[in-house]
Amino acid sequence: ALRLEDLRIPPAYVKTFQGPPHGIQVERDKLNKYGRGLLGCTIKPKLGLSAKNYGRAVYECLRGGLDFTKDDENVNSQPFMRWRDRFLFTAEAIYKSQAETGEVKGHYLNATAGTCEEMMERGQFAKDLGVPIIMHDYITGGFTANTSLAHFCRASGLLLHIHRAMHAVIDRQRNHGIHFRVLAKILRMSGGDHLHSGTVVG
């Protein structure tokens, strides 16, 4: 068996990539929050809520004091909650909680889709709603799709959160596959403002 543990990338090659669309300072500027960590959560149950009930859960979390909430990796566009409806109810929750708390809030809307064109459509819809950040399942979508979405986010002023969904198929086994540090380095070049890296145990 063979496992790729690490990768050294020539600086000249790294410079051919744009990398993260914005970065942590831009996120802090957008949220107007400095000098502390940002506190957020993933909405649970991850599947089964209607878009309206999902939006209600987002509102309750943000109104309760969180800086942001996020979609989980498999919240996409299922029959019980289509993506456009989720985006609308989530944006409503963000604006309502902002009006009541006087703080800037955010939600990571999962824009992962079957084609790059559909991801851009979702990203544009999020931008039109005034949402500051979208999310992509980069292993599910692929590195080329992720790079395209990162370029779109850079041009559109959107932040890009990356979820590592499906990583365990590649990096969990100790005697074959690719170490997560390699996936993270490639992602850094592909583009993403921050990465869902998981817990210290998994």
Domain map (residue ranges) of the chain: 3-195
Q: Considering the entire predicted model, what is its pTM?
A: 0.91
CATH topology assigned to domain 3-195: TIM Barrel (3.20.20)
- With helix as H, strand as E and coil as C, how does 2-32 read? CEECCCCCCHHHHCCCCCCCCCHHHHHHHHC
The pLDDT of residue 23: 87
Q: Which tokens sit at 154?
A: 């850079």
User: What type of residue sits at position 8?
Assistant: R
The pLDDT of residue 71: 95
Do 125 and 117 contact (CB within 8 A), yes or no? no
The pLDDT of residue 108: 96
Annotated catalytic residues are: 44, 163
Nearest alpha-carbon partner for 42 in 130, 107, 123: 107
The pLDDT of residue 166: 79
- Using 50 as the pLDDT threshold, list the residues of the chain that sit under it: none
